[in-house]
Amino acid sequence: MEKFEVKILMKEAFREILPGINFEEIDLSLPLKEHIGIDALALQRVIKRTATKTGVKVFDPLAPEFRNLNEIIHFISGQPGQHLHHAPTP
């Protein structure tokens, strides 16, 4: 799946899980916690929802490994149909 498609699915996940946050106003390259201010549980739900729509299965320990939304989009787009146990080591 292309990155732009994953981004569309992530936007939908934000709208469903975090309706108070405007996805269009998020700088995808900035650190998640400082820029967006969402907790780890909400982020895990967004990642799972996005990945599930692409056929990727994500496990909970994944979320803390990512620094920004671009990393999540890149990782999910490159992993169709796979099980994600952990993020790649930088």
Q: What does the pLDDT look like over 18-69, one tens digit per residue?
A: 998 899 999 999 887 777 778 878 888 898 899 888 887 766 555 557 788 9
Contact 75, 87 (CB under 8 A): yes
Contact 79, 86 (CB under 8 A): no
Instruction: Please give the pLDDT value at position 38.
Output: 82
- Please give the CATH superfamily to which domain 3-84 belongs: ACP-like (1.10.1200.10)
Residue count (the chain): 90
The model carries a pTM of 0.77
User: Residue 83: pLDDT above 50?
Assistant: no
Q: How far apart are CA 64 and CA 54, in angstroms?
A: 20
Look at the alpha carbons of 78, 19, 37, 40 in this order and tell me if their dihedral is positive or negative: negative
Residue 14, classed as helix, strand or coil, is helix
